[in-house]
């Protein structure tokens, strides 16, 4: 019998974390769980840790520690809390780590997992957007294998099998266009958080759902692709494809285009990273193209979705600009979800933050986190201005 692969999941209680655990549930003997983590959701984390017999469960928020400790008392599963505990859990050397914390908060544990030189499945795109160079340097240094989980990047990764990066003519990231694809700018002005999180094709956490609605998600993915697949920014295009069946495409020098297709279910790209370099059986919906009937495509509209241009410009500027874009977006999305600003204000806050704050490029994690913190206060000040003006 094969030795079970050891697994740690950062962000286990979230949408990607739960999808990963669902796949593991279907192949229980093939995997052994080391660490599961959450932010404050101690009750669900404790249940998952017991179901999967984890070695340790960690909450990032210290206030959630007593609940976690009490729920796990007598189980033999260790409980811990705080940033240092998250980093220590990432350094426990699991064969395969899922990085699925939302936001830049996932950066330190993800880097700690990369430093182990094992396999890291990356869903936490904000970490790569903010610290692309630091992360790619850490991967090169440690020899870790980074497997992209985002369906688009996972599709590109699959289309690259047997291909050479220098023979790529173009990478096309597909985008569903989100729930407001057909809305006018005027209609978008008054959309609510509930409308924005109701994605037409994918079931995801609140933050990425809002990012999909503004199309900042595609902008972040553009920057993510720029770091993962070094073909140059001008060779990465975005194409709206409302059915979310083609997850991305790679065109080679000979004009042959390879695409990866599948039902819009995150368990499919996650399964490809869990079993990599093999394939695993899943119970996901098979693709029924006859039932879907037609696949359609359209150019993205930068006027209604300015986040796309903000992200492309940030990638081109490099240095600390992508980190500022990401930090401002995290703050603005949280303010929108709290009902403090309108939907169109999100891109506005990001744009004004980038315009009003231009530090030098960073060369260390400490410098990055001080730029990230300053960008967050600049963005919060812009939000205050907008609220006072309303
Ligand atoms: P969710 O909001 O559903 O889950 C986030 C997870 O991270 C939860 O486990 C949450 O814990 C934990 N968490 C939140 N804040 C912190 C923090 N400050 N410190 C430590 N842990 C924290 O997010 P998703 O699963 O939707 O997304 C996760 C990442 O994957 C994002 O970067 C997203 O962009 C990316 N992604 C998601 C996809 C999807 O389909 N959902 C698709 C592709 C990429 P708690 O439950 O306690 O709050």
Ligand 1 mean position, distance from CA 187 (Å):
29
Q: Is the CB of 82 under 6 A from ligand 1?
A: no
pLDDT at 311 exceeding the cut of 60: yes
Ligand 1 mean position, distance from CA 164 (Å):
32
Mean pLDDT of the chain: 97
| Structure tokens that stand for 40 in this block | 């404050």
Q: Is the CB of 13 under 6 A from ligand 1?
A: yes
Residue with tokens 């812009």: 382
Q: Evaluate the CA torsion angle 370, 371, 376, 377 in order and state its sign.
A: positive
The answer to whether 274 and 207 have CB atoms below 8 angstroms apart is no
Task: Compute CA distances 93 → 29, 115, 122, whole Å.
Answer: 19, 9, 16
Q: Evaluate the CA torsion angle 93, 38, 32, 159 in order and state its sign.
A: negative
236 forms beta bridges with 171
Q: Is the CB of 102 under 6 A from ligand 1?
A: yes
Residue 87 sits at φ, ψ, to 5 deg, of: -65, -40
Q: What is the DSSP letter of 150?
A: S
Residue 99 sits at φ, ψ, to 5 deg, of: -95, 95
Q: Is the CB of 150 under 6 A from ligand 1?
A: yes
Q: Is the CB of 177 under 6 A from ligand 1?
A: no
Q: Is the CB of 202 under 6 A from ligand 1?
A: yes
Closest atom of ligand 1 to 103 CA is 32
pLDDT at 206 exceeding the cut of 70: yes
Q: What is the pLDDT of residues 73-130, one digit of tens each?
A: 999 999 999 999 999 999 999 999 999 999 999 999 999 999 999 999 999 999 999 9
Q: What is the pLDDT of residues 246-260, one digit of tens each?
A: 999 999 999 999 999
pLDDT of residue 200: 87
Give the angle 350-106-224 at the CA atoms, nearest 5°.
60
Ligand 1 mean position, distance from CA 326 (Å):
15
pLDDT category, 177, cuts 50, 70, 90? very high
What domains sit in the chain, N to C, each tagged with a CATH number?
Answer: 5-148 (3.40.50.720), 150-316 (no CATH), 318-390 (1.10.1740.10)
Give the angle 322-177-249 at the CA atoms, nearest 5°.
75
Minimal-distance CA residue to ligand 1 atom 31: 102
pLDDT category, 288, cuts 50, 70, 90? very high
pLDDT of residue 390: 82
Ligand 1 mean position, distance from CA 127 (Å):
12
| Gap between the Cα atoms of 111 and 127, Å rounded | 9
Residue 56 sits at φ, ψ, to 5 deg, of: -145, 145
Long-range pairs, 180-183, Cβ under 8 A, ≥24: 180/213, 180/304, 180/343, 181/240, 181/242, 183/304
pLDDT of residue 199: 87
Q: Is 5 left (phi over 0), alpha (psi -120 to 50) or beta?
A: beta
Radius of gyration for the alpha carbons in the chain, expressed in angstroms and rounded: 20
Minimal-distance CA residue to ligand 1 atom 22: 39
Which residues have C-beta within 8 Å of that of residue 5, sequence separation ≥ 6? 30, 31, 32, 95, 96
Residue 34 sits at φ, ψ, to 5 deg, of: -95, -70
Closest atom of ligand 1 to 39 CA is 47
Minimal-distance CA residue to ligand 1 atom 45: 39
Q: Is the CB of 14 under 6 A from ligand 1?
A: yes
Which residues have C-beta within 8 Å of that of residue 117, sequence separation ≥ 6? 142, 143, 144
Ligand 1 mean position, distance from CA 103 (Å):
7
Q: Is the CB of 227 under 6 A from ligand 1?
A: no
CA-closest candidate to residue 193, choices 210, 217, 180: 210
Mean pLDDT, residues 309-334 = 98
Q: Is the CB of 205 under 6 A from ligand 1?
A: yes
pLDDT at 19 exceeding the cut of 90: yes
**Which of 208, 247, 307, 331, when mutated, tests ligand 1's pocket best, judged by the most ligand atoms within 8 Å of its CB?**
208
| Structure tokens that stand for 266 in this block | 């995150």
| Structure tokens that stand for 2 in this block | 């094969």
Q: Which range (202-206, 239-243, 277-281, 380-384) has the least confidence?
A: 202-206
Q: What is the pLDDT of residues 20-48, one digit of tens each?
A: 999 999 999 999 999 999 999 999 999 99
Residue 152, SS3 per DSSP: helix
The H-or-E segment that residue 95 falls in is none
Q: Please tell me the pTM assigned to this model.
A: 0.97
Residue with tokens 């999941």: 9
305 forms beta bridges with none
The answer to whether 100 and 17 have CB atoms below 8 angstroms apart is yes
pLDDT of residue 1: 52
pLDDT category, 263, cuts 50, 70, 90? very high
């Amino acid at each position: 019998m094969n030795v079970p692969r050891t697994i740690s999941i950062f962000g286990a209680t979230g949408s990607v974390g739960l999808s990963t655990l669902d796949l593991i549930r279907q192949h229980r003997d093939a995997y052994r769980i080391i660490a599961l983590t959450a932010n404050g959701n101690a009750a669900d984390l404790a249940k998952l840790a017991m179901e999967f017999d984890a070695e340790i469960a960690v909450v990032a928020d210290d206030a959630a520690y007593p609940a976690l400790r009490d729920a796990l008392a007598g189980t033999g599963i260790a409980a811990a809390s705080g940033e240092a505990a998250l980093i220590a859990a990432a350094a426990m050397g699991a064969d395969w780590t899922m990085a699925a914390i939302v936001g830049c908060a996932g950066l330190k544990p993800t880097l700690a997992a990369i430093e182990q030189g094992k396999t890291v499945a990356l869903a936490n795109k904000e970490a790569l957007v903010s610290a692309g160079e630091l992360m790619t340097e850490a991967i090169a240094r440690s020899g870790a294998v980074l497997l992209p989980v985002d369906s688009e990047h996972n599709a590109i990764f699959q289309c690259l099998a047997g291909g050479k990066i220098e023979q790529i003519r173009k990478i096309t990231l597909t985008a569903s266009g989100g729930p407001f694809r057909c809305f006018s700018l005027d209609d978008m002005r008054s959309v609510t958080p509930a409308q924005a999180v109701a994605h037409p094709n994918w079931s995801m956490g609140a933050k990425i759902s809002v990012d999909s609605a503004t199309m900042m998600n595609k902008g972040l993915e553009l920057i993510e692709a720029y770091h993962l697949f070094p073909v140059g920014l001008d060779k990465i295009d975005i194409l709206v494809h409302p059915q979310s069946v083609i997850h991305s495409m790679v065109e080679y020098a000979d004009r042959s285009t390879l695409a990866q297709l599948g039902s819009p279910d995150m368990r499919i790209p996650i399964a490809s990273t869990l079993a990599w370099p093999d394939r695993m059986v899943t119970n996901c919906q098979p693709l029924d193209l006859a039932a879907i009937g037609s696949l359609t495509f359209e150019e993205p509209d930068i006027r209604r979705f300015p986040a796309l241009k903000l992200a492309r410009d940030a990638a081109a500027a490099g240095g600390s600009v992508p980190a500022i874009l990401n930090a401002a977006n995290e703050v603005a999305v949280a303010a929108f979800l709290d009902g403090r600003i309108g939907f169109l204000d999100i891109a506005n806050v990001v744009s004004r933050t980038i315009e009003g704050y231009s530090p030098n490029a960073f060369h260390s994690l400490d410098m990055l986190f001080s730029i990230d913190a300053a960008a967050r206060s600049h963005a919060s000040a812009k939000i205050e201005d907008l609220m006072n003006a309303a």
